[in-house]
Every structure is written in structure tokens, then in C-alpha cells.
A and B are shown apart, each in its own frame.
Chain A
Amino acid sequence: MTAATLGLAGLGLLVLGASLGVVLARNLFHAVLWLALTLVGTAGLFVLLHAEFLAAVQVLLYAGGVVTIVVFAIMLTERLVGDSIRQTNRGILAGAAMAAAVFVGLAGTILRATRPAIPPVPELTTAALGRAVLTEWVLAFEVLGILLVAALLGALYLARTEE
């Protein structure tokens, strides 16, 4: 139990530090690298919470796919000399106050919440996840497939070159 708590604290510090890197890095390319670190750290959190399959999906889709296409977009739209360009707008104080207020509200609710005592629950398995996706959640699963195809075709159409 103590080892798990220690791991959670370490991964939490890593993930939150990398998140700060994402929003504060002056060079957008560095921000994407920080995002990759955040996402891999989150996969570590998933392993700690015994969701190994989701950790694998996280690394494959997020750290692999999302980071790659974001890098492509940056290379297409940035001149990559913008190191010294100011990356934040005038609302930085208001934004910080807003984010702090949201965090205090969330943390206050989390810390005050009383959890009903739940008896030790059975360990979840990836097999259970597969069964749930294809039985109870099958409609949402199929709709998600349609959404994926439609959105990717839409993205392709939007970003096509004019002929």
C-alpha cells in the first residue's frame, strides 16, 4: 500500500510538472514534448490503478498518434523561429486566477466528500472491459465508430489542397 502511495505521489509530481511545461513553454514544439511526457506519465498512473489495457491504448493513441499529428500541424503552421515570440495573451492574470479558482473548488469538493464504505471490490480485468464494450455499451461503441469515420473524412476534406 505504501509503495503504491509513493508511486502515486511521484507520478503525480511528474505529471503535474510536465503539464506546467505544456502551458508555460515558450516554444510550442517544446510544449508538445512536455505533453508527450504528461501522457506517458498518465499511462503510468493507469498501470498503478490496474488498468493496463488503457495504459497501452493511452501510449499508442495519445503519445503515438496525437503527438505526431500535433507536431505535423506545428511544422505546417509555425515558422519555428518564434522562440522569442510572446506566447501568452494579455489575460494571463485573469487566466491564472480562473484556473486557481477552479482548482480550489474541485479540491475543496474532493476533500470534503464522504465516500460510502464500499466492501472490497473484485479486480477488473481486460476481459470484463471487452465484454462490457460489446454487450452493455455496444450501441455507443458502434456510434463511436461511425463518428470516427465521419470526423476523419471531414478532417481530410477540410485540410485538402484546392485543385
Chain B
Amino acid sequence: MLTGSLLIAAGMFAIGLFGVLTRRNAVGILLGLELMLNAVNINLVAFAHFNGAVAGWVLALFTIAITVIEVAVGLAIVIVIFRVRRTVDADHLNLLRG
């Protein structure tokens, strides 16, 4: 059971990483990040259950809250970028390229 949960989380993390690396749309990249953070939550809850340690639950709760913050700020930045550049395509956002 523990190994199965950890493998599911590892798979979800890898899929999220793939999304972050390959999506062109900035919102799509944020969706990939969501998957990666969600995979971490599965790990935390699985370890909490199989070790009887409540700290895993507490950390999962904190991770969920921080993910919500991350999405709110990330999407605000995406909206500002769209307003300025009229695109959210990450390939075209090269303002900082030297």
C-alpha cells in the first residue's frame, strides 16, 4: 500500500514536470506545477498514515494552503503580463534575455 501510493505520487510528479517543461502557455505551466505539488501531498499523507505521525497531515495542510497562494499570485502575474504584452506564451516572454 505504501509503495503503491509512493509510486502513484512519483508518476504524478513526473507527469507534472513534463507539463512544466513542455507547455507553451503560462497557465498550462501553472497547471503542471499544481500536479507536482499535489504529488507531494499524496506522499505526505501516505507517510502520515503508515507511520502514525500527524506531522505529515499538518505539512500536507500547509502545502495545500501555500499552493492556493501560489496559484493566486501566479495567475495575477499572468494577467499583468497579458495586459502588457498581449500574450501568455512563455516562448515569447523573453524580456529578460540578454
List residues of chain A with CB under 8 Å of any chain B CB. 4-5, 8-9, 11-12, 15-16, 19-20, 22-23, 28, 31-32, 35, 38-39, 42, 45-46, 49-51, 53-54, 57-58, 61-62, 65-66, 69-70, 72-74, 76-78, 86-89, 91-92, 94-96, 98-100, 102-103, 106-107, 110-111, 115, 118, 121-124, 128-129, 132-133, 136-137, 140-141, 144, 147-148, 151-152, 154-156, 158-159
Contact = CB atoms under 8 A, between A and B. Distances in A.
A91 B21 contact: yes
5 contacts: A51-B45, A57-B64, A78-B25, A111-B3, A121-B50
A28 B25 CA distance: 8
Contacts of A73: 27, 75, 78-79
Nearest to B81: A77
A98 B23 CA distance: 14
A78 to B, nearest CB: 8
B43 to A, nearest CB: 10
A73 B69 CA distance: 15
Task: State the majority secondary structure of interface residues on B.
Answer: helix
A144 B63 CA distance: 10
Contacts of A22: 15-16, 19, 31-32, 35
A152 B72 contact: yes
B42 A89 contact: no
A160 to B, nearest CB: 9
A109 B55 CA distance: 23
Interface residues of B, number: 66
Contact of B54 (A35, A74, A98, A128): A128
Contacts of A129: 54, 57-58, 61
A96 B64 CA distance: 27
A87 B75 CA distance: 18
B21 A98 contact: yes
Nearest to B90: A89
